Amino acid sequence: MINIDNYKTKLTSLLSFRMLFEKNRSSVSMNIDNLKVSWECPSNIALVKYWGKKEEQLPLNPSLSFSLKKAHTRTTVTIKPREMKRLNFRFEGEESSFAHRVDQYLDKLSIDLSWINDYSFYFESENTFPHSAGIASSASAFGSFGLCMADINHKITGKKADNEQFLHEASRLARLGSGSACRSVYPGFAWWGKSSAYKGSTDCFALHVNKIHDIYSDMCDAVLIISSDRKKISSSAGHALMNDHLYREIRIRQANSNAIELYQLLKAPDHQRFFEIIENEALTLHALMMSSMPSFILLKEESLKIMDKIRMYREDTGIQIGFTMDAGPNIHLLYFREDQRKVHQFIESELKDLLEEGKWLDDRIGEGPVRLI
């Protein structure tokens, strides 16, 4: 197991996060010409997948996810009066090719936030998890950027917002960088996408899912690394495969129905059905990629073996575990806290040999973003 506890993590509960937020909101002294904000934001794992988009990063279907506890990006943004160069971006202290994407992101934001063109931006970003660990780093990165930019926007415009409105705005700004990032600005579970079954839902930003059953607030996620190679297909190219996909309409119906049912299960648990739905979502995501034109096979032999072993273990022991995946070969093994010891034993004895250098990350549901300064 990779001990990502060694990476300094700084989390607070939702309550203390809110208190921290309030405290800082009132104590900020503003020098707009040299303003600095800093946020830490988690990555998230989707249980119902966002796959396919329309217009400006709007989803074809609703998705449902939870934020992770240990996998975070921390970003500090300083703004200064406009210099020749608009963006200085450093990742873990080094120049990075990701700067190009951040520059495009500022272009997108400037359509809405006209003050962006008056400033130069100094971004310093770092992750609390290893590179290429099979964790969506764009979700935590753009989540932290969305929070920083919403924060700056409030300071520059003097706009008043309560915590909820602030997070909605941060979610909307995060979405413009990476769709799934809009779900990362919340603790626990988040819903993104318009649905008549979810009050107040919209395609523009995600919502925090509250009042879930206690058992789900302790969900654990072992990220099993099968390959840390770069993705074979970018996520934009992946979403584009849905534009003319033969199964597009049926997929939209399926995702809507899975999202609504899973949302209800979060309030009234039925573990068997819960894992049926999330596995159906993960396998559908890959089936859609395999049946696209052009087609992509991202699963590896080890991915299939592990899925099979997880199902066998569940059947043999009655312990409630299941899997999900992103658009890659790595497996997120989900289980409940009360089974942690047994599940860790299972990973060590049955799955470890199938993993890249035996690597896996021990993560779980987290408490959401933290303002750092």
Q: Among 67, 78, 127, 138, which residue sits at the site for ligand PMV (rule: CB under 6 A)?
A: 138
Our finding on whether 282 is near ligand PMV (CB under 6 A) is no
Stretches 49-57, 124-132, 240-248, 311-319: which one binds ligand PMV (CB under 6 A)?
49-57
The whole-angstrom separation of Cα 151 and Cα 131 is 27
Our finding on whether 49 is near ligand PMV (CB under 6 A) is yes
Specify the DSSP class assigned to residue 230: P
Our finding on whether 137 is near ligand PMV (CB under 6 A) is no
Supply the minimum distance, in Å, between the C-beta of residue 101 and ligand PMV. 12
**DSSP letters spanning 89-141:** EEETTEE-TTHHHHHHHHHHHHHH-GGGGGEEEEEEEEESS-TTSSS-HHHHH
The whole-angstrom separation of Cα 227 and Cα 325 is 13
**DSSP letters spanning 144-198:** HHHHHHHHHHHHHH-----HHHHHHHHHHHHHHH-GGGGGTTSSSEEEES--TTS
The whole-angstrom separation of Cα 100 and Cα 87 is 9
Our finding on whether 42 is near ligand PMV (CB under 6 A) is no
The whole-angstrom separation of Cα 193 and Cα 168 is 13
Kindly tell me which of 278 and 327 has the beta carbon lying closer to ligand PMV: 327
Our finding on whether 332 is near ligand PMV (CB under 6 A) is no
Site for ligand PMV in 228-247 (CB under 6 A): 235
Our finding on whether 50 is near ligand PMV (CB under 6 A) is yes
Supply the minimum distance, in Å, between the C-beta of residue 54 and ligand PMV. 13
Kindly tell me which of 59 and 154 has the beta carbon lying closer to ligand PMV: 59
**DSSP letters spanning 321-343:** EEEE--SSS-EEEEEEGGGHHHH
Q: Among 52, 146, 179, 187, which residue sits at the site for ligand PMV (rule: CB under 6 A)?
A: 179
Kindly tell me which of 178 and 320 has the beta carbon lying closer to ligand PMV: 178
The whole-angstrom separation of Cα 193 and Cα 64 is 9
Supply the minimum distance, in Å, between the C-beta of residue 269 and ligand PMV. 22
Q: Which residues contact 151 (CB under 8 A, 6 or more apart)?
A: 37, 39, 166, 170, 371
Site for ligand PMV in 53-82 (CB under 6 A): 63
The whole-angstrom separation of Cα 55 and Cα 255 is 19
Stretches 100-108, 172-180, 209-217, 343-351: which one binds ligand PMV (CB under 6 A)?
172-180
Kindly tell me which of 138 and 330 has the beta carbon lying closer to ligand PMV: 138
Residue 320 tokens read as 């409630």
Our finding on whether 178 is near ligand PMV (CB under 6 A) is yes
Our finding on whether 327 is near ligand PMV (CB under 6 A) is yes
Phi first, then psi, for residue 259 (nearest 5°) are -65, -45
Our finding on whether 326 is near ligand PMV (CB under 6 A) is yes
Kindly tell me which of 64 and 77 has the beta carbon lying closer to ligand PMV: 64
Q: Among 180, 184, 258, 292, which residue sits at the site for ligand PMV (rule: CB under 6 A)?
A: 180
Supply the minimum distance, in Å, between the C-beta of residue 88 and ligand PMV. 25
Our finding on whether 204 is near ligand PMV (CB under 6 A) is no
Supply the minimum distance, in Å, between the C-beta of residue 175 and ligand PMV. 9
Supply the minimum distance, in Å, between the C-beta of residue 302 and ligand PMV. 19
Chain-centre distance for alpha carbon 123: 20
Phi first, then psi, for residue 15 (nearest 5°) are -65, -50
User: Of 248, 254, 305, nearest to 280 (Cα)?
Assistant: 254
Size of the site for ligand PMV (CB under 6 A): 14
Our finding on whether 172 is near ligand PMV (CB under 6 A) is no
Supply the minimum distance, in Å, between the C-beta of residue 192 and ligand PMV. 8
| Interface contacts to ligand PMV, rule CB under 6 A | 46, 49-51, 63, 136, 138, 178-180, 235, 285, 326-327
